[in-house]
Amino acid sequence: MADLSNHRRKLILIGNGMAGINTLEQILKLTNSFDIAVYGEEPYPNYNRIQLSYVLEGSKRIDEIILNDRNWYEDNGIELHTGTKVVRIDPDAKKIFTSEGDCADYDALIIATGSKPFVLPVPGATQQGVVGFRDIADCHAMIEASKRVKRAAVIGGGLLGLEAAKGLVQLGMETTVVHLMDKLMERQLDQAAAGMLKAELERQGIRFLMKAKTTEVLGDGEATGLRFEDGTELEAQLVVMAAGIVPNVELARASGIEVGRGIVVDDFMRTSAPDVYAVGECCEHRGIAYGLVAPLFEQGAVLAKHLAGAETAPYAGSSVSTKLKISGVDVFSAGEYEEEPGHRVLRRQDDWLGLYKKVLLRGNQIVGAVLYGDVTDAPQLAKLIREGAEMTDELYGRLFGSGQECAGGASKGAAAVLSMKDDEIVCGCNGVTKGDIVRVIQVDGLTTVDEIKVRTGATRSCGGCKPLVEQLLQVVLGDGYRERTAPKKGICGCTTHDSEEIVAAIREKRLTSVREVMAVMGWSEPEGCSKCRPALNYYLGMIWPTEHEDERDSRFVNERLHANIQKDGTFSVIPRMYGGVTSPEQLRRIAEVAEKYNVKMVKVTGGQRIDLLGVEKKDLPAIWEDLDLPSGYGYAKALRTVKTCVGARFCRFGTQDSIAMGIRLEKKFERLWMPAKFKMAVNGCPRNCAESGTKDLGIVGNDGGWEIFVGGNGGIKTTVAASLCKVKTDEELMDVCGAFIQYYRETGHYAERTSEWLERVGIDNVRDAVLHKPEVRKLLLDRVELALAEGKDPWREAFSDESLRRDYYQSVEADAR
């Protein structure tokens, strides 16, 4: 590493996106000679724009796509200015000026302002309801629109447009993609692959209007639809412009820096102004402005070495390839993709399996490829095209094989990674080579993709390289792959500690908060993630019921809002019905609420309750207040329901009062948080009408008392419950159930159902703790009673008084934002 001077220079980065921050990450690895300041227009730290579609569809929260949180900037001594727009650069004085009137000096300046959506120059394009799809604000605008309107149009059938359309369909909107051309992704796919993609996306609910030229956005201040060149119209109250992007060059142009299509840069990313550089989608290199992640990171690597005084080859441009993954649809394209005179075409298509592979040759030279359905060969083909490799019989056999080999497979993947050189790129987004990954597996002992992601960055951005990383793991670890790469249940790649180690540390070190656990135990990601935070919150509450304050931010959205989010973005509300018993008064209240809030469907659930489906997020607080019924916790890792038959009260076969016992059990244990969802059932006789044999805790009445079954599961992996014991009295039944539940709470891994837990710990160990060792059973009962006494019902808390009701309303609004 070499520094250019003996004093620390002031480096300013304008733009807080992926290209700019990746450049800073590379600089920090090479030198500490800069005082760095970052200016970003958005109010967020650096986040992964590639995953905005997940935020739009609701499968990820904003905090889950943050790449570098605020602690990262602080830890690296970087001065961060979010929500701040730089409006002018003075290259002569080496100063920048913000919209607030502030200014700052620099020794070196990087412009990484990215791109902005191309807005069709048609009448009505500036109305309310017309948005782009480039940042979090655009996501929020679309999510808010989906609550008010039902029809959306996405202009553009490329990568961005298809991702936006899928997200809007997930939000419950009737969505039409309007595309000027006759096929989707016309710059990346041939007719066959584009046709297969369109057919699959139509099956997923997206509508298409092809060869349609938009001439006007209809409306009077608010968009109401689109008009096309042929005079036809399409109704749409939300219009998403996704027809392309343009480099964001306004700042450079206003500052007298040379601009073409983008900010013009040389092979070391230098602009026309001294000590001013540009990187990413905002710049133009040798007449090309790149819009994909991998080239931007290649530019950043060259710029970082140049600024650090390290030896580097000049940036000579990038060979680009494209990947798309939407709901299981895998597409890859690189180089030339349309057949022309002079091409030799190697092709295989299987419409039944949904597989397509085409490789184009000029003479014997590989010049392009298109894959659909199976993209196992994508890294290898990208390399072959980049190098201008020749097709050989051996290579043809490896790529096309015969029979089942065309669908991929472990041996084929192994052959691909074995043929790679150590300096070949595996993760194009983050510049991670095969050698980098092999090194952390062999030297550092990493055994999972998540661990490799944390250490190297591979799979961190688009995730397209994950199959190749998995293949590398398999090849390097050999026979030990399956055993050594088994993920630890309940904990993610933020830590190497398993559940037992975490629980032990919480007890021994008396850790009492999620942040304290992560700090003391050396989390690699200081903020944790959506997998480990809820797990830690559960373990802390289970171990310290009287000391730990439940951390709401560490709960899933369903638990925060007391309702289950559905695929269309609405929610499901389930009032509790103890033992499946209701009343005319309760039914009237439910019916009135369903009518008042236009509930889409009222359904009887499998757990003998009533589910109100299709509730808007904004209506959740009011619905719960109008119902004035406790939540059935249909969303929680807790006791969901106790299913009962009519039992001895009414049934001529009943031998025990199953309804009374079911209500007693439900009221007793409803407030306890568990490692996973927990279901119970009580039968009044062995005829099993309440299906006790497939419940986490099932109880069957007989003439002599009760038989208790545990570890059943009626879900994806159906498991028949095991017989635990027989008891004679109701009190003994309550004690055994309480001890069993507490033993599961204390020894279960987070998110581990009782069926998996029982298989792991063994029924004999459960019997020892719950039945055969009275002293252990008493301790378990004492601890479950303590948890019940101290346990707070978050649903009841939310509505217990006016101030808490206001808090809940505000939390719903915050989640909506």
* CA gap 82, 281 in Å, rounded: 20
Nearest Cα neighbor of 778 from 723, 728, 738 is 738
Q: How buried is 667 (Cβ within 10 angstroms: 0-12 exposed, 13-18 middle, 19+ buried)? A: middle
**Where are the alpha helices (H) located in 462-574, listed in sequence order?**
466-477, 481-484, 499-509, 514-520, 532-543, 557-561
Residue 798, CB-side half-sphere exposure with 13 Å CA sphere:
22
Amino acid at 483: E
> Which CA distances in Å does 196 have to 190, 330, 352, 357?
10, 11, 11, 12
Amino acid at 480: G
Spatial neighbors of 2 by CB under 8 A, at least 6 apart, are 31, 308, 309, 310
Asked whether residue 282 is marked as a ligand-binding residue, the answer is: no
* Token pair in block for residue 270: 């230098």
> Which CA distances in Å does 677 have to 313, 696, 754?
56, 9, 9
* CA gap 726, 701 in Å, rounded: 10
Nearest Cα neighbor of 607 from 687, 690, 712, 673 is 690
* Token pair in block for residue 168: 């809007």
Asked whether residue 651 is marked as a ligand-binding residue, the answer is: yes
* CA gap 250, 433 in Å, rounded: 36
Rg of the chain (C-alpha set): 30
Q: How buried is 101 (Cβ within 10 angstroms: 0-12 exposed, 13-18 middle, 19+ buried)? A: exposed
Asked whether residue 529 is marked as a ligand-binding residue, the answer is: no
* CA gap 656, 706 in Å, rounded: 8
Nearest Cα neighbor of 532 from 570, 569, 476, 494 is 494
Nearest Cα neighbor of 107 from 181, 252, 8 is 8
* Token pair in block for residue 59: 């499968």
Angle of helix 18-30 relative to helix 293-308, nearest 10 degrees?
Answer: 30
* CA gap 237, 226 in Å, rounded: 9
Angle of helix 136-148 relative to helix 159-170, nearest 10 degrees?
Answer: 40
* Token pair in block for residue 365: 């030279």
Number of Cβ within 10 Å of residue 385's Cβ equals 21
Under 8 Å between Cβ of 224 and 235: yes
DSSP 685: S
* CA gap 151, 138 in Å, rounded: 17
Asked whether residue 283 is marked as a ligand-binding residue, the answer is: no
Q: Which residues of 551-583 are buried (b: 16+ CB within 10 A; e: fewer)?
A: beebbebbbbbbbbbbebbbbbbbbbbbbbebe
* CA gap 208, 226 in Å, rounded: 14
* CA gap 775, 784 in Å, rounded: 14
Residue appearing with tokens 């096929």 = 183
* Token pair in block for residue 266: 């040389």
Element (H, E) at 146: helix 136-148
* CA gap 108, 105 in Å, rounded: 9
DSSP 582: -
Residue 253, CB-side half-sphere exposure with 13 Å CA sphere:
9
Residue appearing with tokens 């992560």 = 518
* CA gap 86, 97 in Å, rounded: 6
Residues β-bridged to residue 79: 37
Please state the residue numbers annotated as binding site for [4Fe-4S] cluster: 645, 651, 685, 689
Please state the residue numbers annotated as binding site for siroheme: 689
Please state the residue numbers annotated as binding site: 645, 651, 685, 689
